[in-house]
């Protein structure tokens, strides 16, 4: 699957690099409305904390879930990064092809990726393709990537500015970015970018952005297990 000139990859990675997020922070933010500054003295209490967070989630009192922060380092193809950037309450800083030369790494789906679409827009499903389907995708992608990267290098070598040379690169080129959000924004993201049949509103995201979402959810669940449990219990709807 690899060319001597380009790197074909199927992985998408997400790393939690910074956070200030906890279930107790949700409790303190909620209690300030009735306890004032004494809310800052709240301590974690298993049953009480769980009960309050479930009440907030069930009643959709969302603002207490905003007083926290998580920063993820994401490495993904550009088309997946663009899906992530649709969530406009987040903060992003992305690798810039204006300022640095882009590496020769490009995305191809692995053999488990569903490749065929049945139905019509708004009412379709993905089904598995054959081995030949996957090989065809890899062959076509490899041919296109080799030509694109060769032309990119040709432009750079001739002195063309990086910001112009990059226009020949496909959206499957890998990019790296920081993505920062709070728990409320993350829950909204997860409600749209994961497919869970038990969700109140079942979503059908593209698989590549779902790979990002799944890794973020795993990291978040360790930071805020009570909040994550309540999110799941009440239909995976952001409050």
Residue the block writes with tokens 């997020």? 21
| DSSP per-residue string spanning the chain | ---SS-EEE---EEEEEEEE--HHHHHHHHHHHHHGGGGGG----HHHHHHHHHHHHHHT--GGGGS-EEEEEEEEEHHHHHHHHT-TTSEEEE--TTTSPPPSEEE---TTS--EEEEETTEEEEE---HHHHHHHHHHHHHHHHHHHHHHHHHHHTT--HHHHGGGS-TTBEEEEEEEE-HHHHHHHHHHHS--TTSSS-----HHHHHHHHHHHHHHHHH-HHHHHHHHHTTS---
Query: Of 9, 75, 193, 236, which one is the catalytic site residue?
Result: 193
Task: State how beta strands 69-77 and 174-181 pair.
Answer: antiparallel
Please say if 193 is a catalytic residue. Answer: yes
Active site residues per annotation = 193
């Amino acid at each position: 699957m690899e060319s001597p000139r380009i790197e074909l990859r199927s992985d998408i990675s997400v790393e939690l690099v910074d956070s200030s997020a906890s279930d107790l922070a949700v409790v303190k933010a909620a209690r300030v409305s009735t306890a004032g500054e004494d809310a800052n003295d709240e301590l974690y209490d298993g049953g009480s904390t769980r009960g309050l967070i479930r009440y907030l989630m069930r009643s959709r009192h969302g603002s207490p879930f905003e007083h926290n922060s998580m920063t993820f380092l994401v490495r993904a193809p550009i088309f997946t990064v663009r899906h992530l950037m649709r969530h406009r309450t987040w903060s992003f800083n992305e690798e810039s092809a204006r300022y640095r030369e882009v590496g020769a790494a490009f995305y191809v789906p692995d053999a488990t990726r569903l490749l065929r679409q049945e139905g019509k827009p708004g009412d379709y499903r993905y089904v598995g393709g054959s081995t030949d389907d996957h090989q065809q995708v890899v062959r076509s992608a490899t041919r296109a990537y080799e030509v694109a990267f060769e032309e990119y290098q040709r432009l750079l070598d001739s002195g063309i500015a990086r910001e112009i040379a990059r226009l020949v690169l496909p959206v499957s080129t890998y990019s790296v970015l920081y993505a920062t959000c709070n728990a409320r924004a993350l829950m909204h993201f997860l409600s749209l970018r994961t497919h869970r049949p038990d969700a109140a509103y079942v979503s059908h995201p593209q698989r590549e952005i779902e790979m990002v979402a799944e890794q973020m959810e795993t990291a978040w669940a360790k930071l805020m297990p009570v909040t994550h449990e309540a999110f799941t219990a009440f239909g995976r709807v952001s409050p």
